[in-house]
Amino acid sequence: MKTKIRTKQPKQLLNRATGFLEGYTHTLNPYAGCTFGCSYCYVRQMPVGLFRGEAWGTWVDVKAEAAEVLRKELHKAKAKGPVTIFMSSSTDPYQPEEAKAGVTRSLLEVMVDPALMPDFLFVQTRSPLVERDYDLLERLGERVRLSMTVETDRDDIRRAFTPHAPPLQGRLRALREAVRRGIPAQATIAPVLPSSAEFAAKLAAVVDRVCIDDYFMGDGSGGRRTERLGIRELYEELGLAEWYGRDAHLRVLAQLRGHFAPERIMVSQAGFLPG
């Protein structure tokens, strides 16, 4: 199915962070919509996904001239106090359209201006395309953290749950390069998907910080949004029902404790907050 790409002129980019992300002053989404279209994405159950009238994953709105909007907003926001930004809360800033549109890079170019630099920027993605912008992330120093989603080490599971998302090896390569370049980074197992007994060891060979989350802690509704998406049924169809439940993440957490220092293992919200 061909993706519908539209260009929109945003009046506002920085939105007040609330709920799960209340540790931030703002969220920032370079796009509306996301063509990765992950089956379990909680955004499917949010207004942007529910009321569009088009299937989630089939459309993207590109925010035109976003850099100038952000420049003006940062001037105002920084005059009021510290600015901490989560990018992004309802889209992937490095989904395929970014390779052409470059909205995310244009926003980073604004944020590396010393006069406009946020106090902290959290970059959440599952795309190796982020490597293109490591030159800018390096300039943010300790004010940035790259969080790369790696929900599993099994490619059959990736194909079942997120067939349009980038291959796992590319994500690990991007993480490895970030660490080599001194960019603060973590592997984010969110949500926990079925994985092998070697998953934690594979991550530990690449990065020294991990965050683990599941549907029940992290979908913003105690798992109810995920239930409405029919994800439980997908687990059952795949014969993996034992991986769906409030305690399923504990088997991976136990693995992680054998390979990471305790202070480098973050659980749910703690792994997404500034600092």
CATH number of the domain bearing residue 183: 3.80.30.30
Q: What pLDDT was estimated at residue 218?
A: 80
Q: What pLDDT was estimated at residue 1?
A: 58
Q: How far out from the chain centre does Cα 198 lie?
A: 23
Q: What pLDDT was estimated at residue 51?
A: 78
pLDDT digits (tens, 9 = 90+) for 19-29: 899 899 999 99
pTM for this predicted structure = 0.96
Q: What pLDDT was estimated at residue 114?
A: 97
Q: Decide: 59 and 52 in contact? Cβ < 8 Å.
A: yes
Contacts of 181 by beta carbon, 8 Å cutoff, 6+ apart: 134, 138
Is it true that the peptide bond before 191 is cis, omega within 30 degrees of 0? yes
Q: Which residue has the tokens 């940062």?
A: 74
Q: Decide: 67 and 106 in contact? Cβ < 8 Å.
A: yes
Please give the full DSSP string across 26-70, using - where no structure is assigned.
EEE-SEES-TT--TT-GGGGSHHHHSSSS-TTSEEEEETTHHHHH
Q: Decide: 85 and 15 in contact? Cβ < 8 Å.
A: no
Boundaries of domain holding 177: 4-271
Question: What's the helix, strand, coil split of the chain in %, to 5?
Answer: 40, 15, 40
Structurally, the chain folds into a number of domains equal to 1
Both tokens of 97, joined, read 């359209």
Residues with pLDDT less than 50, the chain: none
Nearest Cα residue to 30 out of 100, 82, 135, 115? 100
Integer CA distances (angstroms), 27 to 2, 13, 35, 80, 84, in order: 29, 8, 20, 16, 8
Q: Decide: 1 and 59 in contact? Cβ < 8 Å.
A: no
Nearest Cα residue to 272 out of 195, 188, 206, 197? 188
Say how far apart CA 98 and CA 100 lie, in whole Å. 5
Nearest Cα residue to 273 out of 128, 119, 114? 119
Q: What pLDDT was estimated at residue 163?
A: 96
Q: What pLDDT was estimated at residue 45?
A: 80
Q: Decide: 132 and 3 in contact? Cβ < 8 Å.
A: no
